[in-house]
Structure 1
Amino acid sequence: MNGPEILVAFAPELHVFVPRARRDGAVPTATDGVSSLGHVVESLGVPLTEVGVLLADGREVPVSHVPVAGESVAVRAVTRPQQVPGAPLRFLLDVHLGTLARRLRLLGVDTAYESTDIGDPALAARSAAEQRVMLSRDRGLLRRRELWAGAFVYSTRPEEQLDDVLDRFRPELRPWTRCTACNGLLRKATKEEVADRLEHGTQATYDVFAQCGACGRAYWKGAHHEQLEAIVDRATASFGPSAVDG
């Protein structure tokens, strides 16, 4: 670009996306005089899914704004909690976020997950068709215009990923209501109804069961229940209704 020069300053929350040289105040940036501010921001490495308010010389402007020479642009991070209009809040996760998908399902959050790499175009198309927020660490995927909505997952640690998503979107938590394997809804089941899915030791030891209405998987309070319960208790204490109201 060799057109009008503007000054661009990114909010600290967005520094993860920009080179170190761009993290210290407003930095001169050349534009081509015709591209939108949204295009300029993305060309500097920041997905628009992570951008909140854009200010040009102190006034709020849309991503379609074409910057002019000498403008000072402030790029703020998306506001939390983030509102996603027009559809019940539900998510789509790419192949790299399997643990996060299972934990969101454990909390009763509607979460679709692709266990194989189906490619960015297919993921973006599914996000749009099902009106799901695409969660990914792939910046290229989050720049696809077909997406219904998207969000970058900042951490590589499942615990931090879960906290980040819950803090950003504040979904309704309904623990123990979804299948962690397929996202189907669970229902109470008798031992007789799930007997063909149980080993003999399980049949002799447990009496309370649930079953997925979609894939038929059986659930009971087995050896890993305490670990799962700890995840649920921590999430509901921090992001459940009582935490929000408080």
Structure 2
Amino acid sequence: MNGPEIEIDFAPELRLFVPTKRRQGRSAVVTDGVSTLGHVVESLGVPLTEAGRLLADGREVPVSHVPTAGETIEVRAVERPQKVPGAPLRFLLDVHLGTLARRLRLLGVDAAYESEDIGDPALAALSAREQRVMLSRDRGLLHRRELWAGAYVYSHRTDEQLRDVLSRFTPALAPWTRCTACNAPLRDADKESVGDRLQHGTRSTYDVFAECGSCERVYWRGAHHAALEAIVDEAVREFGGPKTDPGARPE
């Protein structure tokens, strides 16, 4: 580009997205004089899903603002908790976030998940069609214009990913109410109705069950109860929500 020069400074939380030479604070950027500030921010590597308030010489401006020579631009991080307008809060996770999807479902959060790589265009279109917040560590995916909404998942560790999503969006929690396999609601089930889907040891040991109304997977309080209970307890303690205990657990 060969046009007006501006100074731009990214919030510390956003500097992992930009080239190394721009991570130390304010730096000079030569623009073309016609591109919007949103385009400039994205061209430097930061998805607009992660950009919060944009300031030009201290005044807040929209992403459509065209920077002029000598302006000092500040790019703030998204404020937390982040409110998503419109549809009920729902998520869509890409192929690399399956464990996170199951954790969210365990807490009763609507989290659709693509177990196969259907490609960025299809994921973005699905996000728009179903009005779901796209969760991904794929920066390129989060740059796609057709996304309804999106968020970068900053950590590789599932427990940190879960805390990141819960603290950013504060979804309503309803533990033990959603199928961790397919995301559909669970319903109570008696032993007689699900007995043919249980192994003998399970039938003789447990009496309280739930089943998925969609995929018909059966749930009970099994060997993994303590680990799952710990995940639920920590999330409810930190982010709120009812701690229901129907007895049946994902197994």
TM-score, normalising length from structure 1?
0.97
Instruction: Kindly indicate whether residue 151 of structure 2 is the aligned counterpart of residue 169 of structure 1.
Output: no
Aligned equivalent of 1:3: 3
In the alignment, structure 1 segments of 5+ residues that lack a partner are none
Count of matched residue positions in the alignment of Structure 1 and Structure 2: 242
1:52 corresponds to: 52
Taking the aligned partners of 1:197 and 1:16, their CA distance within structure 2 comes to 49
Give the deviation of 1:16 after TM superposition.
1.3
Partner Cα distance (1:213, 1:60) in 2: 48
Q: The residue matched to 2:151 in structure 1 has which SS?
A: strand
Cα deviation per residue 1:94-136 (whole Å; 9 max; x = unaligned)?
Answer: 0000000000000000000000000001000000000000000
Match of residue 96 from structure 2: 96
| Secondary structure at 1:128 match in 2 | helix
Alpha-carbon distance, 1:241 to partner: 4.4
When the two chains are superposed, the root-mean-square deviation of aligned CA atoms in Å is 0.9
* Code of the aligned partner of 1:98: G
Q: CA deviation at 1:199?
A: 0.3
Equivalent positions of 1:137-176 (< 5 A) are 137-176=137-176
Over residues 171-191 of structure 1, what are the superposed CA-to-partner deviations in whole Å (9 max), with x where a residue is unaligned? 000000000000010011000
Return the letter of the residue paired with 1:53: R
Amino acid at match of 1:240: G
Asked if 1:86 is matched to 2:86, the reply is yes
**Greater displacement, 36-45 / 23-32:** 23-32
The corresponding residue for 1:190 is: 190
Q: Name stretches of at least 5 consecutive residues in structure 2 with no aligned partner.
A: 243-251
Aligned to 1:77: 77
Residues of 1 paired with 2:92 and 2:11: CA distance? 27
Looking at structure 1, the residues matched to 240 and 209 of structure 2 have their Cα atoms a distance apart, in angstroms, of 25
Q: What is the identity, as a one-letter code, of the residue corresponding to 1:132?
A: R
CA distance in 2, matches of 1:62, 1:193: 57
Query: For residues 234 and 151 of structure 1, do their structure 2 counterparts lie closer, same or farther at Cα, with a shift above 3 Å needed?
Result: same
Give the corresponding residue for 1:223: 223
Q: Secondary structure at the match of 2:65?
A: coil
Q: List, as ranges, runs of 4+ consecutive aligned residues in structure 1 with deviation greater than 3 Å.
A: none
Distance in 2 separating the partners of 1:241 and 1:187: 19
Distance 1:118 1:171 in 2: 26
In structure 2, what is the equivalent of residue 125 of structure 1?
Answer: 125
Report the AA paired with residue 187 of structure 1: R
Contact 2:16 2:23 in 1 (8 A): no
